[in-house]
Amino acid sequence: MSAGRLAVARLGVVPYGDALNRQRTLAEDRIAGRLASDALLLLEHPSVVTLGRGTRASSLPIAPDLLKRRGIEVYEIERGGDVTYHGPGQLVGYPIFDLGAHRKDLHWFLRRIEDALILALARFGIAGERREGYTGVWTGGGDRKIASIGIHVRQWVSWHGFALNVTTDLAPFDLIVPCGIPDVVMTSVARELERAGAPAIGAAALGHGVRDAVVDAFVHTFGFSGIESLDAVATVAGR
């Protein structure tokens, strides 16, 4: 059965607080029936560290005030999971999905997000993988983490989502314990392509290519019939 069309918003660089408010509003609209389609927000954030519900004190060895002095915002949020970093060159995706139209199973939903990212990475010759006991996408035989995932669901409508490192500066990950995993090695699409000796791709072109691959992969993985603009859906819904 088709899940209908996926409403996609390509938003560019958005401050974290603004994106969080937009997610919450869209989730409320989806719950109330004012948003007729599942939506996927795709964007980047200025440097920010987010603390999920599962964050442990050991995952944030640097005090939030010191991070802020380095120009890195800090947010405590309602998503599952531990601490993570968002920054320029990272593709962040927020699926506002009504799981009642798919499957009311959080583990299924997390695995499908992983499937979509693995499918998107394959377009660039990168073997995305799962690592037993963890959520997210890895590569290199499970040695290097390339994407993090953390969601929140209320009345079977989701928000928050995934962060896929594309051309991201990976150095800020050293300021935290990403996802609470000691000694984790973070990587990116650009780094993996360089490791494989692939021809160089400009940052903008690579970012656009990965974003398009992710949209296609979400459509395929979740069984959507196609895509449409989120603005068009919101206008029809009277917002």
Q: Which residues form the catalytic set?
A: 179
DSSP 3-state assignment of 110?
helix
User: Counting every residue, how long is the chain?
Assistant: 239
Token pair of 194 as six digits: 């360089």
Rg of the chain over all Cα atoms, to the nearest angstrom: 17
| Cα separation, 227 vs 73, whole angstroms | 33
Give the span between the Cα atoms of 173 and 184, in whole angstroms. 10
Contact between 93 and 41 (Cβ < 8 Å): yes
Cβ pair 227, 219 in contact under 8 A:
yes
Counting DSSP H helices and E strands in the chain, the numbers are 6, 11
Do residues 120 and 192 touch, judged by C-beta distance below 8 A?
Answer: no
Four-CA torsion 49, 50, 53, 55, nearest 10 degrees: -10
Q: Residues near 183 by Cβ (< 8 Å), separated by ≥ 6?
A: none
